[in-house]
């Protein structure tokens, strides 16, 4: 086990779930996060845990970055402006953080005691493919957003370092996330649709027949731990689609799954057109075969979890701001 792990962006939607998971598994976790979103804060539950350390800082600050890397065995890069809308809204900051700062971070990891680096990329890199196909890792990349373009650029930079670095890099192309998190996001499809229908709000859905793969945040956490523990021979410069075949869904499929659990008279409207040109199903055979990874949570499980959270008023304190829980604005 790589005992000391640095999570870049450890207080985000996935990072806050991952940090708790790794702490429970006995890892020493250091979280570096700039807390750039208005609704974001450090999870106080972890504050008094012996093996947890939080550093408030921006990865564009090389001094803070250098300090954060001291005594670390493995690095997981989650940080950045995450998602297509936020990068479109803040293109300058996206370029600085999602490309330049991440590239500098990767360079700083060399010639230290770091053994593994895990870069969290996205299946959005595939852009648009024929819906009769499922994209394998070698499929042509057609990024259609600034967010995905930066992910592809960093992937290519990592691959260009083969034979030039001393640590083992692995690229995980994440499916679209869903599930509950200490730093909740209701701008993600499964979470958003469930919340709106639960609250009996009208829901307007565009491009309802477009495909995406989805994956629960807890399954992502399990996969990252698998990579942290796996032999380098299986991981070095490898790319893995990260998710499960059973969670390739269209938006309309998700609505149908939700309405089976929530009797709804909501006004659900479907808007035709090409507002979002992305359309891709993804093949997850490689991660299943090489890393023995299978998802434990279906989309139906995630919907039921979200319904239970909403029924128990888990987000009651934030009810007046619940529609703002997501990656809508930044404080930079």
Domains of the chain: 4-177+215-245 (3.40.50.720), 189-212+247-281+297-324 (3.90.25.10)
pLDDT at site 2: 46
Q: For residue 233, what are the CA distances in angstroms to 169, 227, 285?
A: 11, 11, 18
For the chain, report the end-to-end CA distance as a whole number of angstroms.
36
Angle at 116 between CA 290 and CA 326, to 5 degrees: 85
Please choose, from the candidates 245, 144, 253, the residue with its C-alpha nearest in 3D space to the C-alpha of residue 209.
253
Pairing of strands 248-250, 211-216: antiparallel
Strand, coil or helix: 32: strand
User: How many contiguous H segments (helices) and E segments (strands) does the chain have?
Assistant: 12, 12
Please choose, from the candidates 83, 25, 56, 35, the residue with its C-alpha nearest in 3D space to the C-alpha of residue 330.
35
DSSP state of 100: I
Q: Do 7 and 32 contact (CB within 8 A), yes or no?
A: yes
Q: Helices 15-24 & 217-229, crossing angle to 10 degrees?
A: 50
Per-residue pLDDT of the chain (332 residues; tens, 9 = 90+): 448 999 999 999 999 999 999 999 999 999 999 999 887 777 666 767 889 999 999 999 999 999 999 999 999 999 999 988 899 999 999 999 999 999 999 999 987 889 999 999 999 999 999 888 999 999 999 999 999 999 999 999 999 999 999 999 999 999 999 999 999 999 999 999 999 999 888 999 988 999 999 999 999 999 999 999 999 999 999 999 999 999 999 999 999 999 999 876 678 888 876 667 789 999 999 999 999 999 999 999 999 999 999 998 877 555 446 666 788 888 76
Q: How far apart are CA 22 and CA 4, in angstroms?
A: 10
Q: Which residue pairs from 18-22 have beta carbons closer than 8 angstroms and sit at least 24 positions apart in sequence?
A: 18/76, 18/78, 18/217, 18/220, 18/221, 18/224, 19/43, 19/46, 19/52, 20/45, 20/46, 20/182, 21/218, 21/221, 21/222, 21/225, 22/221, 22/224, 22/225
Strands annotated E in the chain: 4-8, 28-33, 52-56, 74-77, 116-122, 168-174, 176-178, 203-206, 211-216, 238-242, 248-250, 268-271
Question: pTM for the complete prediction?
Answer: 0.95
For residue 212, give both structure tokens: 């995406």
Residue 188 CA, chain-centre distance (Å), reads 11
């Amino acid at each position: 086990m790589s005992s000391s792990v640095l999570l870049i962006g450890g207080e985000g939607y996935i990072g806050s779930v991952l940090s708790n998971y790794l702490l429970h598994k006995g890892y020493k976790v250091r979280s570096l996060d700039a807390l750039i979103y208005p609704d974001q804060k450090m999870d106080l539950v972890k504050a008094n845990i012996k093996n947890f350390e939080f550093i408030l800082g921006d990865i564009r600050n090389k001094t803070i970055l250098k300090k954060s890397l001291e005594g670390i065995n493995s690095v997981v890069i989650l940080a950045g402006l995450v998602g297509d809308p936020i990068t479109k809204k803040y293109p300058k900051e996206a370029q600085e953080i999602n490309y330049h700062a991440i590239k500098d971070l990767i360079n700083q990891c060399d010639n230290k005691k770091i053994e593994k680096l895990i870069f969290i990329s996205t299946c959005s890199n595939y852009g648009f493919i024929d819906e009769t196909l499922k994209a394998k890792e070698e499929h042509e990349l057609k990024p259609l957003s600034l967010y995905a373009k930066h992910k592809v650029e960093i992937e290519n930079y990592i691959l260009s370092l083969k034979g030039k670095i001393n640590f083992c890099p692995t690229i995980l192309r994440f499916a679209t996330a869903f599930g509950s998190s200490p730093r909740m996001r209701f701008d993600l499809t499964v979470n958003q649709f469930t919340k709106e229908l639960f609250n009996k709000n009208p829901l307007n859905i565009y491009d309802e027949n477009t495909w995406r793969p989805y994956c629960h945040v807890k399954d992502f956490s399990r996969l990252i731990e698998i990579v942290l523990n796996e032999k380098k021979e299986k991981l070095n410069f490898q790319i893995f689609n990260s998710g499960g075949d059973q969670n390739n869904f269209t938006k309309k499929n998700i609505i149908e799954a939700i309405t089976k659990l929530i009797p709804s008279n909501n006004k659900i409207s479907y808007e035709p057109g090409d507002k979002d040109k992305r359309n891709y199903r993804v093949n997850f055979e490689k991660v299943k075969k090489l890393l023995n990874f299978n998802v434990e949570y279906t989309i139906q499980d995630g919907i039921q979890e979200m319904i239970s959270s909403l029924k128990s008023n888990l987000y009651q304190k934030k009810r007046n701001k619940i529609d703002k829980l997501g990656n809508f604005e930044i404080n930079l």
